[in-house]
Amino acid sequence: MFFTFYLETVMKITDNIYLVGSGQAGCMISNISDCHVYVVETSDGLILIDAGVGVDTERIAENMKKDGLDPKDITHLLLTHSHADHSSGAKWFKDLSGCKVYVSIAEAQLLRDSDLMDQGLDIAIEDDIYPADYVFTNCPPDVELVGGETFTVGEWSIEAIHTPGHSSGSTCYLMKHDGRVILFSGDVVVHGGKVMFLNCEGSVMADMRRSMPRLADLGVEELYPGHGCWVCADGQGHVDKAIENLKHLGPPSNAF
């Protein structure tokens, strides 16, 4: 059984950017196993970044309502990857709002009909990260990304950047509007340039070394990862640290 603790309010981080779900200590506003779940408010509906673990997902929707956001206005759900804490809530939101679900083509089949045991969910259950009776909820994606696609939602331009390493389909979303440059990085890179690897299929350090330079020279100001701290200034500096630390033969000193 999941044990859940909640704050009383949702966190509006900056203009148009909200944290609406997280199980992280210090900002625990939804299920304890949820990644950070963000909303971007646009002139043409809401963009949801990741969807949480799929348990008590209605709490995320209630958080949105507390800040005047209608979850039925979600038009796009951008999944950074298919690990359970990021994607198992996708079907709940798709059923509620009819939103389009985006995920890397490398993990589309896993999201669609796999139980994700080949991505380490069985190990996570053995490690008590998820309860023994946890079941991943599949969701048919609407858009399968190869990386490099650009599209717009309202006033925001969005680029999908395929950055495998944490998982085979890990994808960062670069968003721009009115001089703002924002990167939603999932589990690819977090505050301090830290990178995350798992002891399971799809998590490959050499893949991350090859793909991380795709995030160089983007001019990122705001960096919103799936876990840990976010930053609202000089996000590129944190990304650059990760790129530098992955250049060497040994494992990066700030991997976790």
198 burial class (0-12, 13-18, 19+ CB within 10 angstroms)?
middle
CA 43, 228, 189, 244 torsion-angle sign:
positive
Residue 116 lies in a domain: yes
Confidence (pLDDT) at 2: 36
pLDDT reported for residue 75: 98
Would you tell me how many other CB atoms lie within 10 Å of the CB of residue 150?
A: 10
CA 255 to chain CA centroid, Å, is 18
CATH of the domain at 91: 3.60.15.10
Q: Give the pLDDT score at 6.
A: 40
DSSP 221: -
Q: pLDDT by residue for the chain (256 residues), tens digit each?
A: 333 334 445 589 999 999 999 999 778 999 999 999 999 999 999 999 999 999 999 999 999 999 899 999 999 999 999 999 999 999 999 999 999 999 999 999 999 998 767 677 888 888 888 888 898 999 999 999 999 999 999 999 999 999 999 999 999 999 999 999 999 999 999 999 999 988 888 899 999 999 999 999 999 999 999 999 999 999 999 999 999 999 988 777 766 6
Spatial contact of 157 and 40, defined as CB atoms under 8 Å apart: no
Q: Are 152 and 181 in contact (CB under 8 A)?
A: no
Task: Evaluate whether residue 252 is within a structural domain.
Answer: no
CA nearest to 172, candidates 142, 145, 201, 199 = 145
Number of structural domains in the chain? 1
Per-residue pLDDT, 206: 94
Q: What is the pLDDT of residue 11?
A: 84
Tell whether 250 is covered by a domain: no
In a domain, 184, yes or no: yes
Distance separating alpha carbons of residues 44 and 79, to the nearest angstrom: 19
- Give CA–CA dist 41/180, Å, rounded: 14
Q: What is the pLDDT of residue 70?
A: 98
Model pLDDT, residue 9: 52
Q: Residue 3 falls within a domain, yes or no?
A: no
Reading the block at residue 173, the tokens are: 């979303």
Residue spans of alpha helices (H) in the chain? 58-66, 84-87, 90-97, 105-113, 121-126, 205-211, 235-245
Domain that holds residue 215: 11-245
Q: For residue 175, is it left (φ>0), alpha (ψ between -120 and 50) or beta?
A: beta
Would you say residue 199 lies in a domain? yes
| Of residues 125, 172, 124, the one with CA closest to residue 147 | 172
